[in-house]
């Protein structure tokens, strides 16, 4: 079985796959609410396409995974981006892969830390939502609309993801 070693989640390394949603020194920010709040603006790019497409906000409760983790499938959403933002400050696993002729290849695994969320670009291969350590609630920003917005790829030779 091939092994994938988890990397720290950084905006630079994750850039080909999507946005890291976090408060950082590089984030555009400005005061709102009569100066009592600092807004960190435009942290991710939400996209939706297709008939009757619209962005939606949902929530999910994810059960924790434990290392080593077996990677047996990847999925993608051809008609929209998909963001996951944990409600509590905890870490979670993010798995992505590049596309080669409609098939995922060269998967990578990132460890999102407390205070980080992610937004997968439209049509990006990614693993399932993978909480670590504890049951975790996530805010999801993605697409609703007509048509199927999910493609699944079963991996014939699974990977083992390790810290």
pLDDT digit string (tens) for 102-139? 999 999 999 999 999 999 999 999 999 999 999 999 99
Contact (Cβ atoms closer than 8 angstroms) between residue 63 and residue 69: no
pLDDT of residue 126: 99
Contact between 90 and 134 under an 8 Å Cβ cutoff? The reply is yes
Domain that holds residue 139: 2-162
Task: Return d(Cα 113, Cα 91) in angstroms, integer.
Answer: 4
- Predicted local distance difference test score (pLDDT) of residue 76: 99
Pairwise CA distance, residues 95 & 74, whole Å? 8
pLDDT score for 94: 99
Pairing relation of β-strands 103-112 and 7-8?
Answer: parallel
Q: How many domains does the chain have?
A: 1
* DSSP category for residue 48: B
- Rounded Cα gap, residues 138 and 84, in angstroms: 6
Q: How many CA atoms lie within 13 A of 11 on its CB side?
A: 12
Q: What is the pTM of this model?
A: 0.96
Helix (H) or strand (E) holding 122: none
Q: Which two tokens stand for residue 51?
A: 């008939």
- Helix (H, G, I), strand (E, B), or coil: what is residue 14? helix
Distance between CA atoms of 105 and 159, rounded to whole angstroms? 12
d(CA 163, CA 69): 10
Provide mean pLDDT across the span 5-12: 98
Question: CATH number for the domain including 64?
Answer: 2.60.120.480
């Amino acid at each position: 079985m091939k092994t994938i070693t988890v990397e720290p989640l950084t905006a630079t390394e994750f850039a080909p796959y999507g946005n890291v949603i976090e408060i950082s020194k590089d984030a555009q920010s400005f005061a709102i609410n009569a100066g009592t709040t600092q807004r960190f603006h435009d942290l991710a790019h939400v996209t939706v396409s297709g008939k009757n497409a619209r962005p939606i906000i949902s929530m999910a409760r994810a059960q924790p995974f434990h290392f080593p983790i077996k990677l047996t499938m990847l999925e993608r959403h051809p008609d929209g981006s998909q963001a996951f933002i944990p409600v509590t400050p905890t870490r979670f696993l993010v798995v992505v892969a590049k596309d080669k002729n409609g098939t995922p290849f060269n998967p990578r695994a990132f460890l999102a830390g407390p205070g980080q969320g992610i937004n997968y670009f439209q049509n990006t291969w990614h693993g399932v939502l993978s909480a670590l350590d504890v049951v975790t609630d996530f805010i999801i920003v993605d697409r609703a609309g007509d048509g199927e917005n999910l493609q699944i790829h079963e991996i014939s030779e699974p990977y083992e993801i390790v810290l």
